[in-house]
Structure 1
Amino acid sequence: MLAILPENKTTFGRRIKEGDLVIVYERHDHMKAVTVNSGAQFQNRFGAFDYSDWIGKPFGSKVFNKKGGFVHLLAPTPELWTLVLSHRTQILYIADISFVILFLEIYPGCLVMESGTGSGSLTTSLARAVAPSGHVHTFDFHELRANSAREDFEKNGLSSLITVEVRDIQGTGFPSKFCGEVDAVFLDLPQPWLALASAAEVLKPDGVLCSFSPCIEQVQHTCEVLTSTDFTDVRTFEILLRTYEVREHSFTKMIDEQSSDEHGSFSSLPCKRLCSEIAKDNRSSTSTLEKGVTVNNEKVRMIVAKPNPETKGHTGYLTFARRIV
Structure 2
Amino acid sequence: MLPIDPAKKNSFQRKICDGDLVIVYERHDVMKSVKVCDGSELQNRFGIFKHSDWIGKPFGSKVLSNKGGFVYLLAPTPELWTLVLSHRTQILYIADISFVISYLEIIPGCMVLESGTGSGSLTTSLARAVAPSGHVYTFDFHEQRAASAREDFERIGLSSLVTVGIRDIQGEGFPDEFCGAVDSVFLDLPQPWLAIPSAGKMLKQDGILCSFSPCIEQVQRSCESLRAHFTDIRTFEVLLRTYEVREGRMNCGGDNEGASPGSRPSKRRLPSSSEGSNGKETKGGSVMAMARPCGRHNFDWSET
Q: Which residue of 2 is the match for residue 262 of structure 1?
A: 277
The alpha-carbon distance between structure 1 residues 39 and 112, as it changes in their structure 2 partners (threshold 3 A), is: same
Question: Which deviates more, 261-270 or 120-129?
Answer: 261-270
Q: Which residue of 2 is the match for residue 52 of structure 1?
A: 52
SS in 2 for 1:138: strand
Instruction: Compute the displacement of 1:38 (Å).
Output: 1.6
Q: Give the aligned CA root-mean-square deviation in angstroms.
A: 2.5
Question: What is the identity, as a one-letter code, of the residue corresponding to 2:237?
Answer: E
Instruction: Compute the displacement of 1:230 (Å).
Output: 2.1
Question: What is the identity, as a one-letter code, of the residue corresponding to 1:133?
Answer: S
SS in 2 for 1:205: strand
CA distance in 1, matches of 2:122, 2:193: 21
Instruction: Compute the displacement of 1:26 (Å).
Output: 1.1
Paired residues of 1:241 and 1:313 also in contact (CA < 8 A): yes
Q: Which residue of 1 is the match for residue 220 of structure 2?
A: 220
SS in 1 for 2:294: coil
Instruction: Compute the displacement of 1:55 (Å).
Output: 0.7
Paired residues of 1:4 and 1:78 also in contact (CA < 8 A): no
The alpha-carbon distance between structure 1 residues 33 and 10, as it changes in their structure 2 partners (threshold 3 A), is: closer
SS in 2 for 1:242: strand
Q: Which runs of 5 or more residues in structure 1 are unaligned? A: 272-303
CA distance in 1, matches of 2:165, 2:151: 13
- Report 1:163-202 matches (<5 A): 163-202=163-202
* 1:114 aligned onto 2:130: no
CA distance in 2, matches of 1:136, 1:265: 65
* 1:312 aligned onto 2:274: no
CA distance in 2, matches of 1:224, 1:266: 64
Instruction: Compute the displacement of 1:246 (Å).
Output: 5.5
CA distance in 2, matches of 1:305, 1:64: 35
Instruction: Compute the displacement of 1:149 (Å).
Output: 0.3
SS in 2 for 1:312: strand
- Report 1:22-171 matches (<5 A): 22-171=22-171
CA distance in 2, matches of 1:206, 1:252: 56
Paired residues of 1:179 and 1:202 also in contact (CA < 8 A): yes
Instruction: Compute the displacement of 1:37 (Å).
Output: 1.3
* 1:234 aligned onto 2:250: no
Identity %: 67
Question: What is the identity, as a one-letter code, of the residue corresponding to 1:319?
Answer: D
Instruction: Compute the displacement of 1:305 (Å).
Output: 5.9
SS in 1 for 2:295: coil
* 1:4 aligned onto 2:2: yes
Instruction: Compute the displacement of 1:99 (Å).
Output: 0.4
CA distance in 2, matches of 1:139, 1:121: 14
Instruction: Compute the displacement of 1:270 (Å).
Output: 2.8
Paired residues of 2:12 and 2:59 also in contact (CA < 8 A): no
The alpha-carbon distance between structure 1 residues 19 and 245, as it changes in their structure 2 partners (threshold 3 A), is: farther
Per-residue CA deviations over 1:92-119 (Å, capped at 9, x if unaligned) read 0000000000100110000000000000
Question: What is the identity, as a one-letter code, of the residue corresponding to 1:89?
Answer: T
Per-residue CA deviations over 1:190-247 (Å, capped at 9, x if unaligned) read 00000011001110011000000111000000001111x2201111111111123466
Q: Which runs of 5 or more residues in structure 2 are unaligned? A: 252-271
Q: Which residue of 2 is the match for residue 286 of structure 1?
A: none
The alpha-carbon distance between structure 1 residues 30 and 37, as it changes in their structure 2 partners (threshold 3 A), is: same
Q: Which residue of 2 is the match for residue 18 of structure 1?
A: 18
Instruction: Compute the displacement of 1:262 (Å).
Output: 2.0
Question: Which deviates more, 258-267 or 79-88?
Answer: 258-267
Paired residues of 1:140 and 1:146 also in contact (CA < 8 A): yes
The alpha-carbon distance between structure 1 residues 5 and 124, as it changes in their structure 2 partners (threshold 3 A), is: farther
Q: What number of residue pairs does the alignment pair up?
A: 281
Q: Which residue of 2 is the match for residue 290 of structure 1?
A: none
Paired residues of 1:4 and 1:76 also in contact (CA < 8 A): no
The alpha-carbon distance between structure 1 residues 258 and 86, as it changes in their structure 2 partners (threshold 3 A), is: closer
SS in 2 for 1:240: strand
Paired residues of 1:16 and 1:58 also in contact (CA < 8 A): yes
Paired residues of 2:104 and 2:210 also in contact (CA < 8 A): yes
CA distance in 1, matches of 2:276, 2:250: 18
